[in-house]
Structure 1
Amino acid sequence: MIQRGLSIGFFGIFGRSAELRAFDQALRAVDLHPKLVPEALKITAVKLLVEHAESGEPAPQSYREAAELIAYCMIGADAFAGANQEELAAEVERRIETALGAGSSLDAKLVLLTLHADVIQPSVVEFFQLESGVE
């Protein structure tokens, strides 16, 4: 398999890669504007999706699932539940709890990514008692 590079575009001449466009669309679907998410975080998240995909090509649903986690971490439980459904917020919370127990799952890496990028809501850090281990 040939791995394409992720492209963020260059002065509008070169377009964004299909992977980043799909991730931006998934972020919008959970009511988080893509411009609020740092490009480095998006690129890293997409690379993690590619690494964890069985075929090297993430399934369309995996973009949505990653966006749910990142949006929840960035805007917090109340804002996420208000913009989405209470049931979805509860499901994302269950995924985070499971990820914290698993340690090295994709979900755990995405939560850790928001923590290290310093874009995670303090309420999420407090609720799940997260710490980066880096002082």
Structure 2
Amino acid sequence: MFGFLELFGPSRPQKRLDAALREAGVHPRLVPGAVKLTAIRQMEEKERQGGADEAACARAAALLAYLMHGREIFEGDNGAAAAAEAEDRIAGAVAAGDGPDARLILLALHAGIVAQEVVEAWGLEID
């Protein structure tokens, strides 16, 4: 669908997000392009000054990696502290029902990239 965009290569924010995904243990090609573009747009809306900078991309990538792999694989790639932080973020998003993390979780659910164990553990569903 966005094949013509590949003629020019990925944008700088997409390169940052791809690098952050690799760092978090997810190959960037496992994340649909539409998910990446939407996540970047959400980061840019939230952070008008910095946009999708390295820190914002790392936070988004960590949450996506947890959602995609579940605790065991994520913890093996990123450590127990990172897994606990991701779980705290999910708990906060579920409790709040809105916010950047909740929107990223909803985006991943719609894309069908959330591991079934994560869906069941957190009772995630699309309303």
When the two structures are superposed, what TM-score results if normalisation uses the length of structure 2?
0.92
| Displacement after TM superposition at 1:124 (Å) | 0.4
Aligned to 1:55: 49
1:69 paired residue among 56, 63, 68:
63
Q: Which has the larger radius of gyration?
A: 1
Contact residue 9 and residue 15 of structure 1 kept, 8 A: no
Aligned to 1:111: 105
Contact residue 76 and residue 123 of structure 1 kept, 8 A: yes
Runs of 4+ in structure 1 off by over 4 angstroms are none
Greater shift after overlay, 22-31 or 95-104?
95-104
Aligned to 2:125: 131
Root-mean-square deviation (Å): 1.6
For 1:63, give the aligned amino acid: C
Question: What are the residue-to-residue correspondences of 1:20-99 with 2, within 5 Å?
Answer: 20-55=14-49, 57-99=51-93
Distance 1:11 1:130 in 2: 33
For 2:93, give the aligned amino acid: A
Distance 2:53 2:126 in 1: 29
**Aligned with 1:124: secondary structure?**
helix
Contact residue 27 and residue 71 of structure 1 kept, 8 A: yes
Tell which has more relative contact order, 1 or 2 (C-alpha 8 A, sep 6+): 2
Distance 2:56 2:83 in 1: 17
Distance 2:53 2:5 in 1: 29
**Aligned with 1:130: secondary structure?**
coil
Unpaired stretches in structure 1, ≥5 consecutive residues: 1-7
Aligned to 1:13: 7
Contact residue 20 and residue 54 of structure 2 kept, 8 A: no
| Displacement after TM superposition at 1:75 (Å) | 1.0
- Cα deviation 1:103-131 (Å, max 9, x = unaligned): 22101100111111111001000110111
For 2:109, give the aligned amino acid: L
Distance 2:122 2:6 in 1: 40
Distance 1:38 1:58 in 2: 17
Distance 1:50 1:110 in 2: 13
Aligned to 1:4: none
